[in-house]
Amino acid sequence: MSERGLLLVVSAPSGAGKTTLCRLLIERLSFRFSVSHTTRPPRPGEVHGRDYYFVSRPEFESLVQEGAFLEWAEVHGHLYGTSVAEVERALSGEEDLLLDIDVQGASQVRRKLGAQAVFVFILPPSLEELERRLRSRGTEDEETLARRLARAREEIRFAPWFDYVVVNDEVERAFEDLAAIIRAERCRPARALP
């Protein structure tokens, strides 16, 4: 853990390999995963409190009313949000925190926290490769696939707005880029000076 915590926001279109890269950040660089709230039902193997806090839509909406979220957005028909409580320890510099959120959420965090957070966008090598990866998962029908690809095109348009872009052509190489970004960010005066 660094002396002053790093709040790393990672966004990517689905199929870019973000989940694998995030897992490596947690395993190798001791980031803590920011657990979001969502109204999406759990997938097999997902654990409440570890992968997400799974809540109903009314519960989510009352949390919004209470101002409990740093950011929230609707993604693929479900609500997702990062609670203020989840990021508090990172903001007080006590830990390095990883936020795996969509581009709408990332822009809200940018508006609220500005340079306190670091924003990284993961790009697939090409749209053709993205389509190939989504197809190889074999979990989606043609309509869902077409929707995910259209959304990916939309999301990729936001890439220039991030601090860094990492092309995930090969996982280990992309991870090296991420590790280099983190290393450089830890050397910024705001984090490195006593």
Residues that bind ligand 5GP (CB under 6 A): 36, 40, 71, 73, 75, 80-82, 100-102, 104-105
| Lookup: tokens for 108 | 């809200």
**In the complex, least distance from residue 52 CB atom to ligand 5GP, rounded to whole angstroms:** 7
Determine the angle formed by the axes of helices 142-156 and 127-137, rounding to 10 degrees.
140
Q: Please spell the DSSP secondary structure of 128-159, one letter per residue.
A: HHHHHHHHHH--S-HHHHHHHHHHHHHHHTTG
Three-state SS for 84? Answer: helix
Q: What's the closest the beta carbon of residue 34 comes to ligand 5GP, in angstroms?
A: 7
Which is nearer to ligand 5GP, 6 or 79 (by Cβ)? 79
Which of residues 101 and 130 has its CB atom nearest to ligand 5GP in the complex? 101
Backbone angles phi, psi at 150, to 5 degrees: -65, -40
Q: How far is the CB of 76 from ligand 5GP (least distance, A)?
A: 6
CB closer to ligand 5GP out of 97 and 186: 97
- Closest distance between ligand 5GP and the C-beta of residue 194, in Å? 33
Tell me the closest approach of the beta carbon of residue 128 to ligand 5GP, in angstroms.
Answer: 21
Q: Which residues pair with 32 in a beta bridge?
A: 97
CA distance 149 to 129: 11
Q: Which is nearer to ligand 5GP, 51 or 191 (CB)?
A: 51
Q: What is the rounded CA–CA span in Å between residue 18 and residue 155?
A: 14
* CB neighbour list of residue 116: distance below 8 Å, 6 or more residues apart: 7, 91
Which two tokens mark 11?
Answer: 């966004």
Q: Which is nearer to ligand 5GP, 56 or 194 (CB)?
A: 56
